[in-house]
């Protein structure tokens, strides 16, 4: 009997659909909890779909787990991971079913005592530093006084990051004290009620409502600026051991702090060692991503954060040791790992539809391997039909990042 993997996603994110296909090809029965009209519907790789209900997210997950009885859960976005962490806490003392759910979440994600640390940026970096991993200096910034002291010590530019944020939304690169103080106020501020209401009405997602009503402020961290090239790693882990990994240098991306759209496959011993140490330290299982900066002058790899979920490159099958779905199937089934054929021999990969949406005339669509799912025409059509909305989102992200990088002149 084939093992079952349950994908949990709260957003209509195209890479999650790509991941479902490769997980099915690896040998899993794939079920999914997702919003309606998700691209997953177009893959024909999902055996059973369960609706993600934004007004009752934990109940959605609880019901899907009870019905699917999966062997593994894979979260497809940060909010999905946070839901699973909360479900783990809520199921404490819920009898045999609760104990089974908690055991499944632990088996799928890793040691629960570290769940909160994964979204506490400063604590995570401090733990990485204790493992001998190269990291930028990182500190929690509580107020303007802390910020001024930080800048006096660390200098400019510097980076401010809010805990619990993702996709570059909660990140600001600031170049002087005045901009830094404005960024601190913006990042600490509770979600706007208009934004919380819009998400609740249109996406049935109420996660911002209580933080907005209670005026809950975000924890903000300062991190020293590392001049260089961005890099990212995606790994499959099992009980703290890295089973397969992909390491990339970021070639192109959406805005200054958005997600990557073009990547170059690399070998980097320092990145490999860092991911292995952190997987062991946190006893990670499942799919995770790590972000790095490769210092311009030395090439040294600085670990800057973790993504405790599948990332947008997790579907790429690039040979033995670089096939994340196959590695997880082997761990769950106990069978010998049999990697899928490599999708390309080209080291440079233009992600679809990310780079195509960013720039339909991008030269990388011709010079690099363009990762289009030609064997899934329904999925391609669904992506093309959604292009207008996606392009608007990309444009908004780019404008937000550009705005955060430049201060309007004082009149």
Query: Residues 161, 217: one domain?
Result: yes
- Domain assignment present for 52: no
The SS3 call for residue 250 is strand
- Domain assignment present for 289: yes
Query: Residues 275, 201: one domain?
Result: no
Other C-beta atoms within 10 Å of 365: how many? 16
How far apart are the two ends of the chain, measured CA to CA in Å?
70
- Domain assignment present for 71: no
Q: Domain span at residue 144?
A: 137-224
The domain that holds 274 is classified in CATH as 3.30.470.20
Rounded CA gap, 46 and 299, in Å? 42
Query: Residues 282, 209: one domain?
Result: no
Query: Residues 248, 220: one domain?
Result: no
pLDDT at 368: 97
Identify the burial level of 408 via C-beta atoms within 10 angstroms of its C-beta, where 0-12 means exposed, 13-18 middle and 19 or more buried: exposed
How many domains does the chain contain in total?
Answer: 2
pLDDT at 408: 31
Tokens for 41, please give them.
Answer: 């519907």
Query: Residues 165, 239: one domain?
Result: no
Between strands 29-34 and 46-51, the pairing is parallel
Rounded CA gap, 110 and 108, in Å? 6
Per-residue pLDDT tens digits of the chain, which is 411 residues long: 899 999 999 988 899 999 999 999 999 999 999 998 899 999 989 999 999 998 889 999 999 999 999 999 999 999 899 999 999 999 988 889 999 999 999 999 999 999 999 989 999 999 999 999 999 999 999 999 999 999 999 888 999 998 877 656 778 898 888 888 898 888 887 656 555 565 655 555 555 554 555 456 689 999 999 999 999 999 999 999 999 999 999 999 987 667 899 999 999 999 999 999 999 999 999 999 999 999 999 999 999 999 999 999 999 999 999 999 999 999 999 999 988 999 999 999 999 999 999 999 999 999 999 999 999 999 998 888 776 555 554 454 443 343 333 333 322
Q: For residue 407, give every residue at least 6 positions away whose Cβ sits within 8 Å of its Cβ, in sequence order, or none.
A: 176, 178, 179, 182
Residue where a domain terminates, one of 224, 239, 269: 224
- Domain assignment present for 385: yes
Rounded CA gap, 343 and 317, in Å? 6
- The structure's pTM equals 0.88
Query: Residues 233, 174: one domain?
Result: no
Residue 89 to residues 113, 313, 358: CA-CA distances in angstroms? 11, 30, 40
Query: Residues 246, 379: one domain?
Result: yes
Query: Residues 386, 351: one domain?
Result: yes
Query: Residues 295, 313: one domain?
Result: yes
The number of C-alpha atoms within 13 Å of 406 and in the hemisphere containing its C-beta is: 8
- Domain assignment present for 83: no
Residue where a domain terminates, one of 193, 208, 224: 224
**Cis ω on the peptide bond leading into residue 368 (within 30° of 0)?**
no
Query: Residues 245, 171: one domain?
Result: no
Cβ burial 376-390 (10 Å sphere, 16+ → b, else e): beebbebbeebeeeb
Query: Residues 267, 383: one domain?
Result: yes
pLDDT at 89: 95
pLDDT at 134: 98
305 and 290 in contact (C-beta within 8 Å)?
A: yes
Residue where a domain terminates, one of 191, 224, 257: 224
pLDDT at 400: 38
The domain that holds 183 is classified in CATH as 3.30.1490.20
- Domain assignment present for 346: yes
Query: Residues 277, 390: one domain?
Result: yes
Rounded CA gap, 291 and 306, in Å? 6
- Domain assignment present for 252: yes
pLDDT at 401: 40
Q: For residue 37, give every residue at least 6 positions away whose Cβ sits within 8 Å of its Cβ, in sequence order, or none.
A: 12
pLDDT at 197: 61
Rounded CA gap, 258 and 252, in Å? 10
Answer positive or negative: Cα dihedral of 318, 351, 298, 169: negative
- Domain assignment present for 19: no
């Amino acid at each position: 009997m084939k093992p079952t993997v349950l994908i949990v996603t709260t957003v209509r994110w195209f890479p999650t659909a790509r991941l479902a296909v490769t997980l099915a090809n690896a040998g899993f029965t794939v079920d999914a909890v997702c919003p309606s009209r998700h691209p997953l519907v177009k893959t024909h790789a999902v055996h059973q779909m369960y609706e993600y209900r934004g007004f009752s997210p934990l109940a959605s997950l609880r019901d899907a787990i009870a019905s699917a009885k999966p062997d593994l859960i894979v979260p497809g976005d940060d909010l999905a991971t946070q839901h699973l962490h909360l479900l783990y806490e809520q199921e404490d003392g819920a009898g045999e079913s609760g104990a089974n759910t908690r055991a499944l979440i632990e088996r799928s994600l890793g040691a629960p005592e570290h769940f909160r640390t994964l979204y506490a940026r400063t604590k995570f970096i401090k733990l990485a530093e204790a493992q001998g991993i190269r990291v930028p200096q990182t500190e929690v910034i509580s107020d303007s006084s802390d910020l001024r002291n930080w800048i006096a010590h660390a200098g400019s530019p510097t980076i401010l990051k809010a805990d619990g944020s993702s996709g570059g939304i909660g990140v600001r690169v600031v170049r002087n004290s005045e901009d830094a103080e404005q960024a601190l106020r913006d990042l600490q501020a509770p979600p706007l009620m208009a934004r919380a209401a819009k998400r609740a009405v249109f996406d049935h997602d109420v996660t911002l409502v209580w933080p907005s009503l209670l005026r809950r402020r975000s924890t903000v961290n300062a991190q020293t600026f590392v001049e260089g090239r961005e890099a990212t790693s995606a790994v499959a882990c099992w009980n703290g051991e890295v089973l397969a990994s992909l390491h990339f240098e970021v070639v192109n991306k959406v805005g200054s702090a958005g997600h990557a759209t073009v990547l170059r496959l690399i070998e980097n011993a320092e990145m490999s060692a860092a991911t292995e140490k952190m997987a062991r330290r946190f006893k990670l299982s499942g799919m995770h991503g790590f972000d790095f900066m490769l210092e311009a002058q030395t090439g040294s790899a600085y670990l800057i954060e973790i993504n405790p979920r599948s990332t947008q490159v997790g579907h790429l099958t690039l040979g033995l040791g670089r096939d994340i779905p196959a590695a997880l199937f082997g761990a769950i089934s106990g069978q010998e790992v049999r990697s899928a054929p490599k999708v390309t021999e080209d080291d440079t990969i233009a992600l679809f539809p990310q780079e195509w949406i960013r720039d339909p005339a991008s030269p990388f669509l011709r010079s690099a391997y363009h990762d289009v799912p030609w064997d899934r025409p329904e999925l391609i059509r669904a992506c093309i039909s959604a292009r207008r909305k996606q392009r608007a989102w990309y444009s908004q992200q780019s404008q937000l990042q550009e705005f955060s990088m430049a201060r309007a002149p004082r009149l």
